[in-house]
């Protein structure tokens, strides 16, 4: 095989490899969007819960982790709001969570910055009179990602 033919084969190989990688990534992105849409629909987000909501873990358990202590504290006060909001960290697929509340009835919320941002966002939005549907929409648009958890936790009483 001459040098020119070798270069042509190498270029074709590289092009097909890059194209295959691109197709895998676009398929992954489509699957992630579908998963987020499914999570948003998995629980009746408009009606009050049918049964009493579970308690969040005791914030005192996280006394040595200020961010976790604060987010568990506020989560305990807004359980119904968190019940109506799907979490966007992927715990629905990985741990079977149905809502953001599930993140705080387990230890997951103590180690997940996304859950902490979303809980703080829910707390702040709820205190401004924003309803759960609007909170969900804002979180899906990425607005909770702007929350500085450490800064909020340091200022929380």
pTM: 0.72
Say if residue 36 is in the same domain as residue 90: no
* Position 52 in a domain: no
Answer yes or no: is pLDDT of 54 > 70: yes
Q: pLDDT tens digits for 139-150?
A: 999 999 999 999
pLDDT tens digits, 92-140: 999 999 999 999 999 999 999 999 999 999 999 999 999 999 999 999 9
Q: Are 43 and 83 in contact (CB under 8 A)?
A: yes
Element (H, E) at 91: helix 91-95
Q: Which of 77, 128, 125, 65 lies closest to 101 in space, CA to CA?
A: 77
Q: Are residues 79 and 10 in the same domain?
A: no
DSSP state of 60: G
Tally of domains in the chain:
2
**pLDDT of res. 10:** 57
Same domain, 27 and 102: no
């Amino acid at each position: 095989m001459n040098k020119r033919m070798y270069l042509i084969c190498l270029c074709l190989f590289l092009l097909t490899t890059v194209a295959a990688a691109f197709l895998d990534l676009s398929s992954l992105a489509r699957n992630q969007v579908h998963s987020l849409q499914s999570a948003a629909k998995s629980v009746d987000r408009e009606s009050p819960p049918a049964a009493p909501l579970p308690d969040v873990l005791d914030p005192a358990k996280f006394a040595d982790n200020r961010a976790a202590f604060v987010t568990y504290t506020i989560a305990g006060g807004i359980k119904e709001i968190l019940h109506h909001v799907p979490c966007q960290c992927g715990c629905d697929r990985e741990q079977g969570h149905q809502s953001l509340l599930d993140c705080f009835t387990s230890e997951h919320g103590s180690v997940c910055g996304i859950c902490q941002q979303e809980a703080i966002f829910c707390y702040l939005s709820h205190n401004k009179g924003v309803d759960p549907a609007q909170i969900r929409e804002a979180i899906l648009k990425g607005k909770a990602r702007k929350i500085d958890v450490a800064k909020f936790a340091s200022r929380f009483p």
